[in-house]
Structure 1
Amino acid sequence: MDRAILVLAFLFFVTASITCSFRESAPVILSVRPRNATVLIKGDIVFECRVQSFPLAQISWKKNNKKLSENHKKFRIIHGTNVSYLRVIDASNSKMDIACLAENIIGKDERNVILSVLSEQERPLFFPFASITYPKSVEPDTLFKLECNVTNLNSPMGVQWYQSNRPITFGNSKYFSNFSIIDDNTIQHNLFVNGLSLSSELFDSIEIDFLCSATNSYGTFSAETSIMLRTRPETPIGPNVTTIYFNSIELEWKPGGISEISYYLIKYRKVVSDKKELEDNDIDTSSNYLIYNTTSTRVKIGNSLKPYTLYEFRVVAVNQLGRSSPTGSLVVRTAAAKPGNVKNIRYSFQNDNLYLIKCDEPDEANGKLIHFVIYHTNQVTNPIRNWNAVRVPIHDMPYLLSINSRLASDEFGSYYLRMSAVNQQLGEGPYSQIVELKRFDKKFDSPYNFETLSLNSTYAILKWNFNLDVLKSFYRQYNNLNINHESAAYRHSEENEIIKNLNFEIYLKKDKFWPTLKAFRRVAALDLVRKIGLKRLFSRQIQNFLAYQLPFEYNMTNLEPNKSYALEIAARLYNIESQISQTLYFTTKDLSDHADKCKY
């Protein structure tokens, strides 16, 4: 029983002690330092106010009995637990009454100090002076040193360092110092900082302020510096377009922060899309960027871009510690230019005064193509302005060109044609090479027996035949040759020349109209012949008793799995195109079908 009473008594004593130690009271200002300080005009000084209070006091500062704002430019206030710091910047008044005010719900306390400000004329002979030698920038978590050279100071104890307006205390692994005597009047006080980090609670900026204050009996002099903490650069702001040309674009942007930047990378690539407004999934991320390096924030990417083409741009900042994240995607279309040359002009002979004209669009449309211009004449030496001209909308190609019936006679030997393309933005492009339209005694027959020999998910082996007699007839008429007797040597030479100038245009048939411009695939007969040899090609006719029937095979790759195709084929000898073959329909296999066959 006695033991229980003793325990209860002990607990009561402890509870009472704790209650007394945390008893609510009005705040008491323990100290305001320094007291009655003196600085030179435009000088800096830091005051410290320490308070004892429970509950915690709210600390504020006054100047000449007026409360200072927390956001004042000339008076910077930093608060801690029961402590507050006031930094006076660029002191200007001759005398200031500085007061520290501490308040809580119980009461308040106030203490005043006097700050005297001297002009240069009033400066005492032995007033202290300080200057700082420092690195302009440092890397995170690395040791660096600041040197403060002080004159008119009897003891190094009169030096106080501050970081971000807070006094630095020593005796820990973060900061340490030493000093050396330079001469009878100068002391060098060194501050060593064992690494700065962005995660430190002492600051929230990557530009760190340090202050070295020297105080003697005449007053206080402070030297200030800012050190840049080098980090990976922030993402630049922008980019924005300043000027657009047909083959180049000028961009500008701003640094994303105050980190040191060595240079910028401008990453750009072509964007393939017909949409007016692009989303992120419209950009082909598989294509590689081109890279342009610059130290400027304004640059011209140029002289190699294609006109009227969409390009995506991103900017990355780089320094010794790494790269920033790339900026958002900027998609810009280069300015339009006149279209390039019309390509692959060819024609099909229909009768004495009708020709079906075909061509490919220019490789460089440089804008939105709206039509072709077909110039034609029987007087090739006439200036182009005197040729007949027909404007043909893009969707009306191929175009059936009608020759004046008066020229469709035996006296008509040749007719001539040139073409140009016109875009909506800048008009007509250059004229094509002259194409001679020849007359023939009949139409150019189409390839026949157009079929598939083998099908897979991504390729189809196509086969067709062509009549050698037809080719020879058109070859001779085109070259104005009249051969009555053929030697074996001449026949071999002629057949070689035909194969060298023979191509096949494979068209992808649309749902409602026959294909217009560029062929789906273009195949040179010579490439096909090389696979089996020219002699074997012609010898097959005799072996198979198929007189003058040339067999061709072509492996059409890069097809889409499980897709239906409708193909038509035409032969082209020089610029003369044959009639179109019958349509070949087939569907490629599904990828899963191919995978099943590969299983063991």
Structure 2
Amino acid sequence: QREVRRVPPRFSIPPTNHEVMPGGSVNLTCVAVGAPMPFVKWVSGEVELTREEEMPIGRNVLELTNIRQSANYTCVAISSLGMIETTAQIIVKALPRPPTSLIVTETTATSVTLTWDSGNPEPVSYYVIQYRAKVSDNGFQEVDGVATTRYSIGGLSPFSEYEFRVMAVNNVGRGPPSGIVDTRTSEQAPSSPPLHIQARMLSSSTMLVQWETPEEPNGQIRGYRVYYSSEHDAPLSAWQKHNTDDSMLTTISGLTADITYSLRVLGFTSVGDGPPSEVLQIKTQQG
């Protein structure tokens, strides 16, 4: 009598690991052979996924749809000669985590340099920086496609407060933003002159000069400088100078009677002088 060859079960096609997008689908195929041929079932954790009375022989395909979280699935092959198992991992790709340690490393009057840490164990595709002026009602402006964890944003206004945040992007999409960091750009010299210059004579030799702050002070105005001269064609450097603090009016005395003076006013910050105003002419009174 010919003896029947008996072979314990083994997997000829074990299931493979898969990475899927959230809501994705995947079919896990498991094939086992042996003599006698084994039954094949699927288990996840403690949960039996194949019904006892419907357990196929040799091959079992597990169809997973709308996958929302990562999980392990175990294929079990059973015959009278034994039971074996093998496990496949289904990993759901997630949005990246927010970047961490966002700091401002340097500021100029018109730019801010930021650095941050990825905050993600997996590599990310790139980063998006969002920023806005604190006084503005507009939403965030964006710098997209930043490949490094250090970046300088230019085109900012001097002596203005801005807030910044960063988000990481991978092939699932944009992750949540980092915490906000804020900073003020540094000062510049004013880029516009004082406004509405006015002058009137208080006596034949004393003049009162008034003005309003420049539209673009670009910093803290430390004071103003009034230039005056009876020589209208002389260069500004040759005019007489009268410095004031940051108030908006001053008196200049010791003027000569019955002469026309030219006046110009400029504002300055700790960084430097702004442009002088247009020329204003005033005639002193006769003595």
Separation of aligned partners in 1, 2:102 and 2:235: 50
Separation of aligned partners in 2, 1:251 and 1:178: 61
Q: In structure 1, what is the equivalent of residue 81 of structure 2?
A: none
Q: In structure 2, what is the equivalent of residue 315 of structure 1?
A: 166
List aligned pairs for 1:35-434, cutoff 5 A: 135-140=18-23, 142-146=24-28, 170-171=49-50, 192-198=63-69, 227-257=90-120, 264-272=127-135, 287-296=137-146, 298=149, 300=151, 302-317=153-168, 324-350=175-201, 351-395=203-247, 397-402=248-253, 404-405=255-256, 408-409=257-258, 412=259, 414-424=260-270, 426=271, 428-434=272-278
SS at match of 2:237: helix
Deviation at 1:342, TM superposition (A): 1.8
8 A Cα contact 2:159 2:187, kept in partner? yes
Separation of aligned partners in 2, 1:364 and 1:226: 61
The structure showing larger relative contact order (alpha-carbon pairs under 8 Å, at least 6 residues apart) is: 2
Separation of aligned partners in 2, 1:339 and 1:398: 18
Deviation at 1:433, TM superposition (A): 4.0
TM-score (norm 2): 0.68
Q: In structure 2, what is the equivalent of residue 62 of structure 1?
A: none
SS at match of 2:218: coil
Could you say if the C-alpha distance between residues 271 and 293 of structure 1 is closer, same or farther in structure 2, counting changes exceeding 3 Å? closer
Percent of matched pairs sharing the same residue? 22
8 A Cα contact 1:264 1:317, kept in partner? yes
Could you say if the C-alpha distance between residues 416 and 260 of structure 1 is closer, same or farther in structure 2, counting changes exceeding 3 Å? same
8 A Cα contact 1:252 1:298, kept in partner? yes
Separation of aligned partners in 1, 2:284 and 2:238: 27
Separation of aligned partners in 1, 2:225 and 2:244: 6
SS at match of 1:139: coil
CA offsets 1:539-576 (integer angstroms, 9 cap, x no match)? xxxxxxxxxxxxxxxxxxxxxxxxxxxxxxxxxxxxxx
CA offsets 1:373-417 (integer angstroms, 9 cap, x no match)? 22222223333332222221003x211123533xx23xx3x3223
Could you say if the C-alpha distance between residues 224 and 392 of structure 1 is closer, same or farther in structure 2, counting changes exceeding 3 Å? farther
SS at match of 2:222: strand
Separation of aligned partners in 1, 2:253 and 2:58: 102
Deviation at 1:157, TM superposition (A): 5.1
8 A Cα contact 1:148 1:190, kept in partner? yes
Separation of aligned partners in 2, 1:246 and 1:179: 73
Could you say if the C-alpha distance between residues 192 and 373 of structure 1 is closer, same or farther in structure 2, counting changes exceeding 3 Å? same
Could you say if the C-alpha distance between residues 133 and 242 of structure 1 is closer, same or farther in structure 2, counting changes exceeding 3 Å? farther
Aligned Cα RMSD in Å?
4.4
Could you say if the C-alpha distance between residues 259 and 157 of structure 1 is closer, same or farther in structure 2, counting changes exceeding 3 Å? farther
Separation of aligned partners in 2, 1:369 and 1:178: 87
CA offsets 1:269-317 (integer angstroms, 9 cap, x no match)? 2224xxxxxxxxxxx8xx2223204233536463321112111223345
8 A Cα contact 1:352 1:439, kept in partner? no
Q: Larger C-alpha radius of gyration, 1 or 2?
A: 1
Gaps of 5+ in 2: 1-9, 78-84
Could you say if the C-alpha distance between residues 403 and 212 of structure 1 is closer, same or farther in structure 2, counting changes exceeding 3 Å? farther
Could you say if the C-alpha distance between residues 130 and 291 of structure 1 is closer, same or farther in structure 2, counting changes exceeding 3 Å? farther
Separation of aligned partners in 1, 2:57 and 2:282: 100
Matching residue's letter, 2:276: S
Give 1 or 2: higher helix fraction: 1
Matching residue's letter, 2:263: L
SS at match of 1:385: helix
8 A Cα contact 2:194 2:266, kept in partner? no
Gaps of 5+ in 1: 1-126, 181-188, 199-205, 215-221, 273-283, 443-600
Separation of aligned partners in 1, 2:157 and 2:215: 11
Separation of aligned partners in 1, 2:128 and 2:68: 27
Matching residue's letter, 2:283: R
